């Protein structure tokens, strides 16, 4: 479904990614792990075409979208949820949802969002900026789902969230994966990755230092220190 082939990307004067190749299939959860500065967010931004690729190819369903605009890539089915959640803080929760309800009429977008995150019922008139961190994350995920994506890119999906909220977030991840949506996620907690991810890529210095299944990652504790050069949170 989503393929990055020998991708190089970065910022003016700073190439961050070097020869990165990975893929995410329909209904698959693929996780990115790595220390700060490894290139995880840059990789997601490159996959969303928020960055111009310096080299390599980006494909969606076999179609080359390397030179497509970010808007065209979004319309084609790639939805990026950045670390800052990407919500519109000055708008109400209802308006945030209605803006992203692709092909839905009236309150259908709201009804679908409430189905997956019931708390939304009691927050529709609130400014999105007044929500808690966990509520903002769930709103961002609900909005992503409303776009009817093929691929969802999630940056730091559980960062700063209470454990119970993280449980809700990952229940949602499991649900949309079961619907055939591909997920590429940046996650800092190894135990969550072991529980939910089908495959894992470890990034170090903008390069993939290890690729394997979540089971392979969990079967050898030393692999984390060896490939990342640091101990990640358990």
61: left (phi over 0), alpha (psi -120 to 50) or beta: left
pLDDT at 84: 65
**Interior CA angle at 48 toward 217 and 144, to 5°?**
85
In a 10 Å sphere around its CB, with 0-12 CB exposed, 13-18 middle and 19+ buried, how is residue 34 labelled? Answer: buried
**What dotted CATH number matches 2-77+150-228?**
3.40.50.300
Least confident stretch, 83-97, 103-117, 138-152, 212-226 = 212-226
Q: Of all residues in the chain, what percent are helix, strand and coil, respectively (each to 5)?
A: 40, 25, 35
Reduce the DSSP state of residue 65 to 3 states and report it: coil
- Residues near 228 by Cβ (< 8 Å), separated by ≥ 6? 33, 34, 35, 38, 202, 204, 209
pLDDT at 165: 87
Pull the structure tokens for residue 86: 């990407």
228: confidence class by pLDDT, cuts 50, 70, 90: low
- Residues near 70 by Cβ (< 8 Å), separated by ≥ 6? 48, 49, 50
Residue ranges of alpha helices (H) inside 119-187 are 133-146, 163-178
The strand order across the sheet containing 207-213 reads: 78-81, 151-154, 182-186, 29-33, 199-204, 207-213
Q: Which residue has the higher pLDDT, 82 or 48?
A: 48
Mean pLDDT taken over the chain:
88
Which tens digits make up the pLDDT trace of 158-194? 888 888 888 988 999 999 999 999 999 998 888 888 8
Let me know: does 214 contact 199? Beta carbons within 8 Å: yes
Point out which residues pair with 63 in neighbouring strands.
60
Least confident stretch, 63-72, 97-106, 145-154, 198-207 = 97-106
Query: Which segments of the chain belong to CATH 3.40.50.300?
Result: 2-77+150-228
User: To which H or E segment does residue 15 belong?
Assistant: strand 14-24
pLDDT at 48: 95
Which tens digits make up the pLDDT trace of 78-134? 999 987 677 899 999 999 998 887 667 768 888 888 888 889 999 999 999 999 888
């Amino acid at each position: 479904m989503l393929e990055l082939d020998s991708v190089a990307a970065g910022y003016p004067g700073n190439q961050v990614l070097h020869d990165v190749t990975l893929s995410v299939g329909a209904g698959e959860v693929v996780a990115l792990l790595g220390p700060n500065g490894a290139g995880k967010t840059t990789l997601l931004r490159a996959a969303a075409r928020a960055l111009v690729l310096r080299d390599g190819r980006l494909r969606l369903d076999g179609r080359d979208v390397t030179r497509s605009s970010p808007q065209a890539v979004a319309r084609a089915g790639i939805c990026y949820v950045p670390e800052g959640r990407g919500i519109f803080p000055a708008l109400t929760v209802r308006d945030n949802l209605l803006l992203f309800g692709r092909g839905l009429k009236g309150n259908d977008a709201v009804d679908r969002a409430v189905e997956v995150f019931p708390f939304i019922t009691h927050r529709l008139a609130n400014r999105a900026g007044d929500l808690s961190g966990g509520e903002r994350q769930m709103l961002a995920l609900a909005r992503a789902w409303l776009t009817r994506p093929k691929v969802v890119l999630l940056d730091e999906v559980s960062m700063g969230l209470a454990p119970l909220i993280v449980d809700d977030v990952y229940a949602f991840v499991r649900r949309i994966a079961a619907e055939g949506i591909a997920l590429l996620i940046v996650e800092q907690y190894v135990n969550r990755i072991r529980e939910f991810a089908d495959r894992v890529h470890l990034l170090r210095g903008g390069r993939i230092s290890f690729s394997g299944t979540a089971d392979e990652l969990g079967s050898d504790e030393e692999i984390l220190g060896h490939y990342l050069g640091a101990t990640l949170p358990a």
